[in-house]
Amino acid sequence: MSTSPRRAACPGSFDPVTNGHLDVIGRAAQLYDEVVVAVLVNHTKVGLFTHDERLEMLSEVTADYDNVSIRSFQGLLVDFCRANDIPVVVKGLRVASDFDYELQMAQMNYGLAGVETLFMPTNPQYSFISSSLIKDVAKWGGDISGHVPDVVANRLRKRLGDQHRP
């Protein structure tokens, strides 16, 4: 009797990927045989980094995980999961308000396609980190080095330069 590998998706826009994202991805990689980091293509939202740049950074910072792959998706996450035989979505929760939003998404995903959601509490040291906050702090010259991988910090500095620094 053969068993199929346990697979999960960690979805998001990852603009940019943070240490909080990597904590959830790494912990999911310990629980599942394969973790697919599913990067949303959203044509209505202009990010700081292009979709390809985000894929590149994610590939680089997850290279040490043999069971993590990076893929793009657009449209409904459940359609991506169904097409890739992924029965579980792993979502990190930082604060209670994350749960309010993510619970609705989880219930919809289950209702549409039977895709389960695993809520993973974020490591407290990353609970205040968001991609938006990281971009804002970096824009004004703040030190973000402890909150993102070095490759991301370097790309943020290069992209944002000294445009807003006093």
* Known binding-site positions for substrate: 13, 45, 77, 91
Candidate list 2, 4, 43, 45, residue with the active-site label: 45
Is there a catalytic annotation at residue 139?
Answer: no
Annotated binding site for ATP: 13-14, 21, 92-94, 102, 126-132
Set 27, 54, 131, 155: catalytic member: 131
Q: How many CB atoms are closer than 10 A to CB 97?
A: 9
Catalytic residue, from 27, 94, 135, 155: name it. Answer: 94
Annotated binding site: which residue ranges? 13-14, 21, 45, 77, 91-94, 102, 126-132
Q: Is 69 a catalytic residue?
A: no
- Do the Cβ atoms of 86 and 55 come closer than 8 Å? no
b/e map 14-23, b = 16+ CB within 10 Å: bbbbbbbbbb
Show the beta-strand stretches assigned E in 19-87: 34-40, 68-73
Q: Identify residue 65 by its one-letter amino acid code.
A: Y
The question of whether 21 is a catalytic residue gets the answer yes
Active site residue 131: yes
Catalytic residue among 21, 27, 51, 147: 21
Q: Provide the annotated active-site residues.
A: 21, 45, 94, 131
